[in-house]
C-alpha cells in the first residue's frame, strides 16, 4: 500500500511538471510574431508572394489570405459581399488558424479591413501596419474618403459594367508597376472588386486601432492622389509611426525586399 501511495504521488508530480513544460513551450511559441498580410482592392493573396518569401527566409511565420470574391475566390462573387464580409474573412482566418501576436498588415483598401479586425479581436494582434492604405473613420466608406472624381467613376463604372455588382479592375500601371514582366504578371491576376466593399461604411465600436500600435508606410514615388491625404495625416500625428518607401502603390511587387525589411524592423 505504501509503494502505491509513493507511486501515486510521483505520478502527479510528473504530471504537473509535464503540464508546466508544455504550457511554457506554448507561451514561448506564441511570442513569435506572425505576419498576416491583407491585400487591397482588385488583388489577392498572390500579390504578397515576394514579400512572404523574404519574411519566411528569415524564419518568420507568414499568411496571405485572399478576401471573398477576389482572385482564386472570384467564382464566389455575389451581391452580398461587403466590407463586413472581408473583415469577417480575416477574423475567422486568424481564429481558425489559432494565430496570436499577429502583425496585421493591410494594403490600400484593406486599411478598412484591418481596422475592423482590430475592433473585434485586438487580443490576437500585436500591431497594425497600414501600407499606403485608406483610413476610414467610424461611419465612413471607401467611397466617402475617395476624391469626388474617383468616387463618381467607381459608381458609374460598376453600374455600366454589371449593374452595381463589382468595380472593374484598374490595370497595374495605375498601381505604379513599371517592369514589363511584372505588368503582365499583375494584370493576369487582377479581378473586379465587389462594389459593396466600397459602399458599406466601416462600423467601429472602439477607438480607431483599438489601442494597438499603429504604423503607416507611405509609397511616395509616385504617390497616389487618393492616398496622399492619409499619408500626410499620419506623418503629422504623434499616434502613428510613419515610414516611407520610394516606390509606387504596389510596393509588395516593386520593392518586396525593402518592404520585408521594414516589416521586420517593427518587431
Domain CATH number, residue 189: 3.40.50.1820
Query: Are the C-beta atoms of 30 and 101 separated by less than 8 Å?
Result: yes
Q: Please state the φ and ψ torsions of residue 91, each to the nearest 5 degrees.
A: -60, -50
Place of cell 502613428: 240
Are 41 and 24 within one domain? no
Q: What is the mean pLDDT of residues 195-206?
A: 98
Same domain for 100 and 205, yes or no, is yes
3-state secondary structure of 16: helix
Angle at which helix 256-265 crosses helix 49-57, to 10 degrees, equals 50
Question: Could you tell me if 23 and 123 lie in one domain?
Answer: no
Looking at residue 7, what is its pLDDT?
Answer: 52
Predicted confidence at residue 5, as pLDDT, reads 46
- Other Cβ atoms within 10 Å of 30 Cβ, number: 12
**90 and 7 in a common domain:** no
Asked if residue 156 and residue 42 are part of one domain, the reply reads yes
Question: In terms of domains, do 75 and 22 share one?
Answer: no
As a whole number, mean pLDDT of residues 132-147 equals: 98
Res 71: pLDDT: 98
Query: For 50-89, how does the pLDDT look when each residue is reduced to its tens digit (9 = 90+)?
Result: 999 999 999 999 999 999 999 999 999 999 999 999 999 9
- pLDDT above 60 (res 238): yes
Band (31; pLDDT cuts 50, 70, 90): confident
Residue 23 has pLDDT above 60, yes or no: no
Residues 55 and 4 in one domain: no
- In 3-state terms, what secondary structure has residue 47? helix
Residues 102 and 1 in one domain: no
Does residue 22 surpass a pLDDT of 50? no
Kindly report which listed range (28-32, 53-57, 67-71, 216-220) carries the lowest average pLDDT score. 28-32
Residue 61 phi/psi, 5° resolution?
Answer: -90, 130
Same domain, yes or no, for 217 and 244?
A: yes
Q: Does one domain contain both 161 and 186?
A: yes
203-210 CB contacts, 8 Å cutoff, 24+ apart: 203/84, 203/116, 203/138, 203/139, 204/115, 204/116, 204/119, 204/137, 204/138, 205/119, 206/119, 206/122, 208/115, 208/137, 208/138, 209/115, 209/118, 209/128, 209/239, 210/118, 210/119, 210/122
The mean predicted confidence, pLDDT, of the chain is 91
Q: Known catalytic residue: 265? A: no
The model's pLDDT over 117-130, given as tens digits with 9 standing for 90+, comes to 999 999 999 999 99
pLDDT of residue 16: 40
- Catalytic: which of 52, 108, 172, 199? 108
Reply yes or no: is the peptide bond before residue 129 cis, omega within 30 of 0: no
* Number of domains forming the structure of the chain: 2
Same domain, 11 and 85: no
What is the domain range of residue 136? 33-265
**Residue 267: band (very low, low, confident or very high) from pLDDT cuts 50, 70, 90:** confident
Residues 16 and 103 placed together within one structural domain of the fold: no
Mean pLDDT of 19-30: 40
Amino acid at each position: 500500500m505504501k509503494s502505491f501511495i509513493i507511486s501515486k504521488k510521483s505520478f502527479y508530480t510528473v504530471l504537473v511538471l509535464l503540464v508546466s513544460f508544455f504550457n511554457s513551450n506554448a507561451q514561448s511559441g506564441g511570442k513569435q510574431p506572425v505576419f498576416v498580410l491583407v491585400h487591397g482592392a482588385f488583388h489577392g493573396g498572390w500579390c504578397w508572394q515576394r514579400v512572404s518569401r523574404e519574411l519566411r527566409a528569415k524564419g518568420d511565420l507568414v499568411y496571405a489570405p485572399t478576401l471573398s470574391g477576389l482572385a482564386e475566390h472570384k467564382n464566389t462573387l455575389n451581391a452580398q459581399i461587403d466590407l463586413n464580409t472581408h473583415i469577417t474573412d480575416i477574423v475567422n482566418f486568424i481564429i481558425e488558424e489559432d494565430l496570436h501576436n499577429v502583425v496585421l498588415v493591410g494594403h490600400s483598401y484593406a486599411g478598412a479591413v484591418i481596422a475592423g479586425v482590430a475592433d473585434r479581436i485586438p487580443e490576437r494582434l500585436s500591431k497594425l501596419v497600414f501600407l499606403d492604405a485608406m483610413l476610414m473613420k467610424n461611419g465612413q466608406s471607401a467611397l466617402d474618403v475617395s476624391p469626388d472624381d474617383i468616387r463618381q467613376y467607381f459608381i458609374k463604372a460598376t453600374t455600366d459594367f454589371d449593374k452595381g455588382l463589382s468595380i472593374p479592375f484598374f490595370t497595374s500601371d495605375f498601381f505604379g508597376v513599371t517592369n514589363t514582366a511584372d505588368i503582365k504578371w499583375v494584370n493576369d491576376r487582377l479581378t473586379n472588386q465587389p462594389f459593396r466593399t466600397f459602399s458599406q461604411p466601416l462600423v467601429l465600436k472602439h477607438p480607431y486601432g483599438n489601442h494597438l500600435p499603429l504604423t503607416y508606410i507611405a509609397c511616395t514615388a509616385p504617390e497616389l492622389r487618393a492616398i496622399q491625404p492619409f499619408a500626410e495625416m499620419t506623418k503629422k500625428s504623434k499616434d502613428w509611426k510613419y515610414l516611407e518607401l520610394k516606390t509606387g502603390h504596389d510596393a509588395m511587387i516593386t520593392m518586396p525586399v525593402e518592404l520585408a525589411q521594414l516589416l521586420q524592423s517593427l518587431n
